[in-house]
Amino acid sequence: MKKILVIHGPNLNLLGKREPGVYGNDTFETINCEILEYAKELDFDAEIYQSNCEGEIIDAIHNARESSVGIVLNAGAYTHYSYAIRDAISAINIPVIEVHLSNIHARDEFRSNSVIAPACVGQISGFGKNSYNLAIQALKRLV
Ligand code: DQA
């Protein structure tokens, strides 16, 4: 089975408890179970990783270049200012799909700019927890 890496960035460990009006009531654990299940349906062995630290996310991206065929990345707020994460994505040659639960273009102005977007294959934003599954579907076509 081909391996993919799903990365959740800062504050996403609090899904279900954090601003449910924006991110939904499903817990982090429930969402991860659904991601694993859907990935399996598409013949992917998904690994899920969460970190609140920029450097750890960068390390995870680097490590995936050997172990995985693609990455689904919700970089949280790092999306909007981490040139280091963008450079990490540019440094590897497996596809990275940017995801967001909320529609980042319909919220605060600072959220509508993604500095990682140019280094990703594409961006999926605004479909709640289903954004992850849509990204896995996109990876299926790519790899
Ligand atoms: C988010 C959107 C970001 O702007 C925010 O900082 C997050 C979550 C999303 O999934 O909608 O932490 O990436």
**Which domains does the chain possess?**
2-142 (3.40.50.9100)
* Distance (Å, whole) CA 106 – CA 36: 29
Q: Give strand pairing partners of 3.
A: 45
Would you call 54 helix, strand, or coil by DSSP? Answer: helix
* Distance (Å, whole) CA 26 – CA 40: 20
- CA nearest ligand 1 atom 12, residue: 76
- Choosing from 99, 102, 110, 133 the residue with most ligand 1 atoms within 8 A of its CB, the one to mutate for a pocket test is 102
92-107: pLDDT as tens digits: 999 999 999 999 999 9
122-131: pLDDT as tens digits: 999 999 999 9
**Catalytically annotated residue among 23, 49, 78, 132:** 23
